């Protein structure tokens, strides 16, 4: 899939957010120090990082641009889990209310369609949702239809030039499960 292909990025993002919110339902305060599939990260750090990513997606979807530097925090941090859930739900609401038409979004002075931004975000959201499930020790595959579509999108997003800043090197797998194939493509070892 190339970035010029028509995709329902908004639909992908909604599905990925619903999956990630579902995996986060299992998180308890005791789990925040547990390791994630990403080396050196615990669940709390992942949730905080995830919340920042959701902020950037919200900014792009609602304002038509994503700034390279973060805006100052306008609300107090109430805990990693609450922050993540609040940001994910806010983005879902915005997707439903604001994003009915295709628009141009500027990311670091580069224009792209809102569908491409949303689809790219869906890839990160789904994989981090998987990371949450794994960290909670309750593995839950990314739904087949979502994982299959994201597998088609991944080569346009994760290139040799971008992989090192986004994901670890691909991991070999014999699995034919779309979720397993997606997470191994993005440097994770399936259960």
Question: pLDDT tens digits, residue range 140-150?
Answer: 999 999 999 99
Question: pLDDT tens digits, residue range 175-189?
Answer: 999 999 999 999 899
Domains and CATH numbers, the chain: 9-140 (1.20.120.450)
Question: pLDDT tens digits, residue range 117-170?
Answer: 888 899 999 999 999 999 999 999 999 999 999 999 998 888 777 666 667 888
Please state, for a pLDDT cut of 90, what percent of the chain lies above it.
52
Question: pLDDT tens digits, residue range 6-35?
Answer: 678 888 999 999 999 999 999 999 999 999
The structure tokens listed for 20 are 């990630």
Tell me what the mean pLDDT of segment 73-80 comes to.
60
The structure tokens listed for 123 are 């890839």
Which pLDDT does position 156 carry in this prediction?
84
Sheet strand arrangement including 104-107: 65-66, 104-107, 110-113
Rounded Cα gap, residues 131 and 35, in angstroms: 10
Determine contact, residues 41/35, Cβ cutoff 8 Å. yes
């Amino acid at each position: 899939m190339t970035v010029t292909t028509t995709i329902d990025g908004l639909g992908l993002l909604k599905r990925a957010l619903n999956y990630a919110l579902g995996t986060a339902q299992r998180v308890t305060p005791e789990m925040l120090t547990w390791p994630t599939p990403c080396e050196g990260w615990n669940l709390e750090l992942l949730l905080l990082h995830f919340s920042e990513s959701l902020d950037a997606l919200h900014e792009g979807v609602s304002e038509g641009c994503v700034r390279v530097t973060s805006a100052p925090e306008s609300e107090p941090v109430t805990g990693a889990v609450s922050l993540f859930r609040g940001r994910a739900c806010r983005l879902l609401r915005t997707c439903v209310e604001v994003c009915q038409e295709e628009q141009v979004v500027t990311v670091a002075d580069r224009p792209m369609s809102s569908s491409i931004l949303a689809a790219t975000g869906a890839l990160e959201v789904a994989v981090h949702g998987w990371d949450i499930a794994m960290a909670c020790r309750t593995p839950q595959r990314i739904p087949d239809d979502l994982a299959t579509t994201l597998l088609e999108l991944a080569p346009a997003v994760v290139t040799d030039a971008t992989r090192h800043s986004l994901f670890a090197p691909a991991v070999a797998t014999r699995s034919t499960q779309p979720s397993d194939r997606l997470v191994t493509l993005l440097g994770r070892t399936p259960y």
